[in-house]
Structure 1
Amino acid sequence: MAWFSTTVVTFCLYSCVVGLYFHISETEKKCFIEEIPDETMVVGNYKVQAYDTKVKDYLPVAPGIGMLVEIKDPDDKIVLSRTYAAEGRFTFTSHSAGEHSVCLHSNSTAWFSGGQLRVHLDIQVGEHAVDYQQIQAKDKLSELQLRVRQLLDQVEQITKEQNYQRYREERFRSTSESTNQRVLWWSIAQTVILLITGFWQMRHLKSFFEAKKLV
């Protein structure tokens, strides 16, 4: 029961909306790591602003400036690679559980000299990435039906998160066992080397004493 509560808390913290902004130069690339269960939808909303030295503030960028978004799965395979406008959203669904790399950088390297961009990024994972108002209007659902749909999605996402936590635990246990085995074999190798070295030193000292006629 305690394990389930911990998983639910972890899921709630994990699946909430992640909002932030960061600064990049014209050639810089920023990457973020997101731990995502398998078969989970992720939606990212972003907006790019450029620093204006005249007003000393960040303003909307000029037309033609966009962002290249590249998503890689835990096996380093490209899930999404596409150039978007200066403001928009990207969507993808994870096919394997684990750490996904989300990288963003400008689609140009010469649009201004020595300037800086501010990128506002909102990453929504799981059922938070679903637009339930749109679903309600499309399927003509009542408030009760919509709430049931939300609860079913939440239960499904919690199940996925539990499976992912079990996968992480198995992977960690496997890594620990492999490390312990390597440490054990290294200790055995060290012991053997010490025994061989001690035996050789005793033989060498015995030969030395016999040559000097001390024994």
Structure 2
Amino acid sequence: MSRFNLYLLLITTVIAILSSTSKSIRFELESGNTKCIAEDIKSNSMTVGKYSIVNPHDGQPLPDSYKLTVRVTSSYGNNYHHSELVESGQFAFTASEAGDYMACFWAADHKPAVTLNIDFDWKTGVAAKDWTNVAKKGSVDVFYYEGNEAVEFKASLGLGLVDRSEEILLLRFLWKTEADTDSSTCHLLFHNTTLLSDVMELELKKMYDTVISVQEEMNYLREREEEMQDLNTSTNVKMAWLSFLSIVVCLSVAGLQVWHLKTFFQKKKLI
């Protein structure tokens, strides 16, 4: 495999990894109803959420009836976000307590009833980290040939990790004609070889943070497991004492009944 093909394969792989989008959910909510979504978040973990009502008519403003009230609370009842009668919004906070956090959506009541489609994206932990300030900047000079003349230009487009207003990376493969798109007749000359290493360094940082996050999650799960084991042991001990006391009470009642019957029969001179 030629050096160019190796470069092409490596760059394509990096871009595919970096351009992966975050997963979000879309759900329906009828006016006058409430829907809640829970997320288990450990303490000192960053969380970011975005929500918006999907416009059923592109290019037109949302109807007045398309309004949401959103509240985010912890399992202890603490309020972390509250917005009333909005079309979209976002929240970000660092969880001060571990447990289930609840995001509740309430659609304003309206007659006749309408059904809202809501996009909701909720990230926690390393997925919520802003990599914009982490990414380094570089540039690539791209050449393509038309006849005997070489035309040089710079592309400025973001990777989704950096500000688009900056002149950053751009890997754009140009062909002389549309017919050439199925061939590999493109020429790339890297005048700034640090770009690829910067991108790889950023990806390694993301992988490192992901590994740290997984380790913290495993430690958190281990702590929860120990708590559950302690709770299970405590419950078993309590149930053992309860069973023992139940047996003692039953034997005491049985003995009392035998004594009462014996006394009764003796008084009646039956025994």
Is TM > 0.5 for Structure 1 vs Structure 2?
A: yes
Q: What 5-or-longer segments of structure 1 have no aligned partner?
A: 1-15, 53-58
Matched with 1:8 is none
1:24–1:126 Cα change, 3 Å: same
Cα distance, 1:170 vs. partner? 2.4
1:60–1:198 Cα change, 3 Å: farther
> What are the superposed Cα offsets for residues 63-116 of structure 1, whole Å, 9 maximum, x if unpaired?
58443322222322112223474234332322222211121223x334x42222
Contact 1:40 1:94 in 2 (8 A): yes
Contact 1:97 1:164 in 2 (8 A): no
Matched with 1:38 is 43
After superposition, residues 40-59 of structure 1 pair within 5 angstroms as 40-49=45-54
After superposition, residues 177-192 of structure 1 pair within 5 angstroms as 177-192=233-248
Looking at structure 2, the residues matched to 100 and 74 of structure 1 have their Cα atoms a distance apart, in angstroms, of 6
- The one-letter code matched in structure 1 to 2:121 is D
- The one-letter code matched in structure 2 to 1:105 is W
Matched with 2:68 is 67
Higher fraction of helix: 1
After superposition, residues 92-107 of structure 1 pair within 5 angstroms as 92-106=93-107
SS in 1 for 2:24: strand
Contact 1:17 1:125 in 2 (8 A): no
Contact 2:48 2:90 in 1 (8 A): yes
SS in 2 for 1:27: coil
Q: Normalised by the size of structure 1, how large is the TM-score?
A: 0.74
Cα distance, 1:121 vs. partner? 2.0
Cα distance, 1:176 vs. partner? 0.9
Cα distance, 1:155 vs. partner? 2.6
Which of 162, 167, 172 in structure 1 is aligned with 2:228?
Answer: 172
Larger radius of gyration: 2
Matched with 1:127 is 126
1:18–1:92 Cα change, 3 Å: farther
Count of residue pairs the alignment pairs up: 192
1:135–1:85 Cα change, 3 Å: farther
Q: Normalised by the size of structure 2, how large is the TM-score?
A: 0.60
- The one-letter code matched in structure 2 to 1:169 is E
Matched with 1:145 is 201
Which of the pair has the greater relative contact order for Cα pairs under 8 Å at 6+ separation?
1
1:60–1:130 Cα change, 3 Å: farther
1:158–1:73 Cα change, 3 Å: same
1:92–1:84 Cα change, 3 Å: farther
Which of 16, 24, 27 in structure 2 is aligned with 1:22?
Answer: 27
